[in-house]
């Protein structure tokens, strides 16, 4: 399955309800699983972003739906990056000719 890196920031609503955040994370894991995807790793980070998530999903459309549905709850804003593993990277480079 493709890998995705999701960078997230709390919204004002999300930070005001920060104590609910662990429950929201568990709900997100269940939402991923329900759509045949997996939230593999979660990190609270310092710097420009508040959270980093490593996820796998069957395709871009599924992960976009997940990001939009989770973001629509109003607690976080996300930026999703499609990540290519080393083997995929090598295949892309080899195809350049």
- Candidates 52, 43, 55, 53; CA nearest to 2 is 55
Compute the radius of gyration of the chain from its Cα atoms.
15
| Residue 97, pLDDT score | 81
CA angle 75-3-30, nearest 5°?
A: 45
- What H or E segment, with its residue span, contains residue 22? helix 21-34
Domain residues of the chain, as ranges?
A: 3-94
Per CATH, which fold does 3-94 belong to? Alpha-Beta Plaits (3.30.70)
The C-alpha atoms of residue 32 and residue 51 are separated, in whole angstroms, by 17
In tens digits, the chain (97 residues) has pLDDT values of 999 999 999 999 999 999 999 999 999 999 999 999 999 999 999 999 999 999 999 999 999 999 999 999 999 999 999 999 999 999 999 999 8
């Amino acid at each position: 399955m493709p890998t995705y890196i999701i960078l997230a920031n709390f919204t004002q609503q999300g930070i005001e309800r920060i104590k609910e955040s662990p429950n929201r994370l568990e709900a997100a894991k269940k939402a991923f699983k329900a759509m045949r995807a997996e939230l593999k790793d979660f990190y609270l980070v310092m710097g420009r972003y508040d959270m980093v998530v490593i996820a796998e999903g069957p395709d871009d459309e599924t992960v976009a739906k997940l990001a939009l549905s989770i973001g629509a709850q109003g607690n976080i804003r996300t930026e999703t990056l499609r990540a290519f593993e080393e083997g995929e990277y090598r295949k892309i480079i080899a195809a350049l000719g």
